[in-house]
Amino acid sequence: MLKLLFKGKVVAVLLALVFVACAPARPAPVAPPPAAPAGVTPTQAAPAAAKPAEEVEWDKVVAAAKKEGKVTVYSTFATPEWQRVFGGLMKTKYGITVEWLFGIGAANAEKVKVEHDAGQVVGDIYHAGAAGFVPITKYLVPFDPPEARKTAKDAWHLVPTTYDSDKRVLAVSLALGLTPWVNTNLVKPQDYPKSFRDLLDPKWKGKMNLQDTTFAGGGSRIFYWLSKVYGLSFWEQMARQNIVFVRTYSDQVNRVVAGEDPLSMYVNPPYVIESAKARAPIEPLLLTEGLAAPTIGMSLLLNSPHANAAKVFINEALTEQGQATMPVIGYSPIRKGVKTEWPHPSIAKIMAHGPVTTFDLASDREHDKQISDKVSARMLRLGEFAK
């Protein structure tokens, strides 16, 4: 009996061994993935998605701009305060030093021509009222800023690249505020003109100044605008008023402040801010015609020695941070939603006035043709229509 039991156990053991040998092998345990570094989540540890090619190319431009380290800007409107603010932004953000040539558009345009004709280009950027670009079109290079491409069109009051279909002139701000200013010691409020037509009154004869209308600038702009509003007959009569012509925007302001002329037919905001802050006896007039708002633009100049830094400068002027600096000049941003802090209450007063007349490139070209033909020079200087 014991032998039978023993044999049974042996058989059972043998059968168990055969079963184990024939069973499929268990898979080897899989090692857990390596832990992410301390403080980094698995999502963060995943490889970053590749940048779009456009961003990669722009990163290269920015890197090259930083190596160039400087940019030269020929500007009609870069007041010392804007030089400090926007120049500081470029230095802090990109390490780029801005060198400024601050002067009237006609002089800057002539400098651009002379440099290119001599093959010794110094300027990188031209910054002026839009009409001032027309005479130097062949020295301008198309540029399509990333900031303009990536920002929705409805985020702009004026899309930067739509002013010029060739994208050689890029809108950066609007020059609201071409309106007359008076010396408050010489002109009493009850005598303030209400309209430009009031300036045809003989009492204003010999008492007004205006920037020279024979070159692209504020003087020629107001001539063009009021010709559109009232026709050339307005200027036929104005030719009898013995207007004092001056060359620069500063001269207009200085003569009014000094009392040499009780009134300037218009003053460009960047040039009156310091006088207003100093409480000079000068005040803007809000006339029934409203405001002319020429476009202020920037262009990349041909054969620019710092082309990458120039592109970064123009692109930065279109960012929210760059647009927020435009009111420092006394000009309106073209980007919507930008907080505007005007440099003086008188400028804020002008900006709240209307209606506003803006201009496109076609009108600026027509305006330039009038100036090239010296229509205003014949009419105002020689008084053809006054005969």
Name the residue with higher pLDDT: 368 or 61. Answer: 61
Who has greater pLDDT, 320 or 77? 320
Least confident span in 60-69, 86-95, 202-211, 285-294: 285-294
Tell me, yes or no, if the two domains 59-174+294-351 and 179-293+364-386 fold the same way. yes
Query: What DSSP letter does each residue of 130-177 carry, written as one string?
Result: GGGGGGGGGGEE----HHHHHS-GGGBSS-GGGSSTTSSSEEEEE---
> Scanning the structure block, which residue is given the tokens 């009492």?
203
**pLDDT tens digits along 314-331:** 999 999 999 999 999 888
* Rounded Cα gap, residues 308 and 327, in angstroms: 26
What CATH number belongs to 59-174+294-351? 3.40.190.10
Tell me if 163 sits within 8 A of 340, measured CB to CB. Answer: no
Instruction: Choose between 7 and 294: higher pLDDT.
Output: 294
DSSP string, 295-353: EEEEEEETT-TTHHHHHHHHHHHHSHHHHTTHHHHT-EESBTT-----SSHHHHHHHT-
Residue 221 scores a pLDDT above 90: no
* Cα–Cα distance for residue pair 316/152, rounded to 1 Å: 17
Judged by DSSP in three states, 211 sits in strand
CATH 3.40.50.2000 for domain 179-293+364-386: no
Domain range list for the chain: 59-174+294-351, 179-293+364-386
Look at residue 241 and tell me whether its pLDDT is greater than 90: yes
* 19 band by pLDDT with thresholds 50, 70 and 90: very low
Query: What pTM was computed for the model?
Result: 0.79
Is the pLDDT reported for residue 309 higher than 90? yes
